[in-house]
Structure 1
Amino acid sequence: MDRNLWALACSTVAAVTMAVGCSLIKPPADPDRSGVSAGGMGNEQLVELLAPRRIALKVMIATRPVDDPELREILWTAADEHIIPPEQRQRLEANGLRVAVVDTVFPPEIEEMLSPEAPVGQRIDPTIVAVPDGHATPIMLGPDQAVEHKTLFLSLGNGAVGRDYEQATGAMRVSASQADGGMAMRVVPEIHHGSDQLRYAPAENLGPFEPEQFVMREGKLEESFRDLTAKLTLEPEQVLILGCWPDRPGSLGHFLFTKTEPKSDRLLQTVVFIWATSAGATEIPWVEPVTPPNNLRRVDPSELGVEPVTPGGSTGQE
């Protein structure tokens, strides 16, 4: 071999050896450290590092006539709206929106409304989801069907404006992150409008080490009102309350939290109750674990009317 080529080969091997370490052979596992990996971290620490932290959200949406005292007066009397800073609270109020917290000890009328023992037809079934820490989850609100044309009067950072929307629906996008002793909540109102179209949107539920990705999605245009973002810390045993001032037609809050009763002219108002807590890798609060039945048995194919298949691929009849 040419001397220059030989020198180049030797230098290449030396460089690779220095890059990966003195030994290219993986040493045998140490039986005394079978539960330790990744630079001395235990298996539980490694799982916590690699698995994204999850937040469990329980959402209950109560809808009652707009003059119903339970949602119009009794609930808000017990709620604390001063958890929102004064300037932002005034801006929310100018747009017909209300955000507050309530201790889990509700007034008796509200307890009865949210009780799982409520009569059929009045019982409110909760929606429970587990999402990555900080993931923004939309709660769809407003009329049951998209409004063909809607004019909203908005009070934003640049002053009062009127905006027209076609095929409009509404949502409150809620995100929760673990904070010291509680949950840092962020709520942003949205209007979804226009016809459904294919567009690029950020991918959701990515792992902590995955780069940001964009995927094609079909849906309406989404307008987020970041000037009306509400931020607060939800302490343990507290519930987040979202609602509106129902006597302010034309406002964003009125559009999101009121609707007409089907087959009637009666106006209904909606209040959203949100609980938030941390969730484990496999356990979700408020959800009972599913126990597999203990009476499983092997079933012969003939019991199901299916001919057994021989190893050669033919049925028993052949």
Structure 2
Amino acid sequence: MLSANLIKFRSGSEIPNKRQGIAPSLKGFWIFLCLACAIPIFIGCRAINKPKIRNATPLAALEKAPSQTELEVVFVRIPPRDQEATNLLWQEVDELAIDAKFRRELHKNGFRVGVVGPNSSGEIQEILQSAHHARTGNVALEDVGDMQSTHAISRKVFLQRGQQSELLASSIQKEFQMLEMHDGKLVGQTLNDGQAQFIVKIQELKNAQVTLRLIPEIHFGAFHNEYIPGDGMFQLQTSREKKRLTRLQVDADLQPGQILIVGPQADQPGSLGHRFFNEQSADKSISKIMMIRLCDFPITELESADDNDASD
């Protein structure tokens, strides 16, 4: 009996029955494993639509502190075919609002400067509206260089009295040709990798108006690190060599809504003003104008300044 069972076992007659019970369970296990691996693949593999960023920023907008003066800085880009619009714009500008001692030096070096009141005409209002649309994201940054008509881009600047900020007037020019009229003589030099900038500063708050100081600068050469003393510590700052043209500075007394306008003299190509406000684009010279509008100022500081004058 035992030998018969042993022979039956060795013959393998019962083995198929055992394999028939194991095979379905292994098959189910492999099916489950494949499904478990495939589910996250099908769920996770989908196209991600990346929206085109149009001047958007994840950073919160800066807010004005009570003791700060609010300025809106607008750069207007004017292609050659819109030069007539530039002439119309300058007809509204009061150039006599700037002291003659500032205007003379600026005119000699190819700059034009003046002030526009808060009740300006449609031409200036359209420029400001264009700048507001660009700042709120209606104009894509990559589309700016392709525009063939006048357009503007603006930004807000908040300053305490005595504080200053840098305003970029041009891109970096490999060879910045600097020509100055100094004491009746034309002096020239070439600055490598030069870039035109302005320093804007709140000079004084008095008699319900703000005195704005604007100083042209040229930054040039290679970048280098330097340590600047701060509040109990030194700060590492990256900068370049600079030429500050203090004799070409301009002081403007502005009331809320008034605009300081600076641009190039159209009849002085190659002048310093031309270098600051003209750039080449597709073999064409693109002219620019800078507007600085006084939006708001700290009333308390004006009142304290007036009280000090009364006591004196």
TM-score where L is the length of structure 2: 0.63
What is the rounded CA distance, in whole Å, between the counterparts of 1:227 and 1:56 in structure 2? 26
Give the one of 203, 208, 216 matched to 2:236. Answer: 216
Q: Percent of counterpart pairs with the same letter? A: 26
| CA-to-aligned-CA distance 1:207-248 (integer Å, 9 cap, x gap) | xxx79x864311211111001111121123311111111332
Which residue of structure 1 lines up, in the alignment, with residue 67 of structure 2? 53
Task: Tell me which moved more, 173-182 or 68-77.
Answer: 68-77
Which residue of structure 2 lines up, in the alignment, with residue 132 of structure 1? 160
| CA-to-aligned-CA distance 1:102-155 (integer Å, 9 cap, x gap) | 01222212222221469856764431122222211111012x3x2122222101
Which residue of structure 1 lines up, in the alignment, with residue 266 of structure 2? 246
| CA-to-aligned-CA distance 1:154-175 (integer Å, 9 cap, x gap) | 0135843112201100111111
What is the rounded CA distance, in whole Å, between the counterparts of 1:71 and 1:228 in structure 2? 27
Which residue of structure 2 lines up, in the alignment, with residue 26 of structure 1? none
CA RMSD of aligned residues (A): 2.8
Kept after mapping to 2: 8 A contact 1:154/1:160: yes
Give the one of 274, 281, 298 matched to 2:292. Answer: 274
Which residue of structure 2 lines up, in the alignment, with residue 231 of structure 1? 251
Structure 1 gap segments, 5+ residues each: 1-50, 204-209, 282-318
| CA-to-aligned-CA distance 1:58-102 (integer Å, 9 cap, x gap) | 111110114524552011110011122223212101111112110
Aligned to 2:274, the other structure's residue is in SS state helix
Structure 2 residue identity aligned to 1:239: I
| CA-to-aligned-CA distance 1:5-62 (integer Å, 9 cap, x gap) | xxxxxxxxxxxxxxxxxxxxxxxxxxxxxxxxxxxxxxxxxxxxxx993111111111
Counterparts in 2 of 1:169 and 1:158: CA distance versus 1, 3 Å: same
What is the rounded CA distance, in whole Å, between the counterparts of 1:202 and 1:255 in structure 2? 34
Structure 2 gap segments, 5+ residues each: 1-64, 144-149, 301-312
Aligned length: 220
Give the one of 78, 87, 110 matched to 1:96. Answer: 110
What is the rounded CA distance, in whole Å, between the counterparts of 1:74 and 1:202 in structure 2? 48
Give the one of 219, 226, 231 matched to 1:192. Answer: 219
What is the rounded CA distance, in whole Å, between the counterparts of 2:234 and 2:253 in structure 1? 30
Give the number of the structure whose residues are more often helix, by fraction.
2
Structure 1 residue identity aligned to 2:210: M
Residue 147, structure 1, aligned to residue 173, structure 2: yes
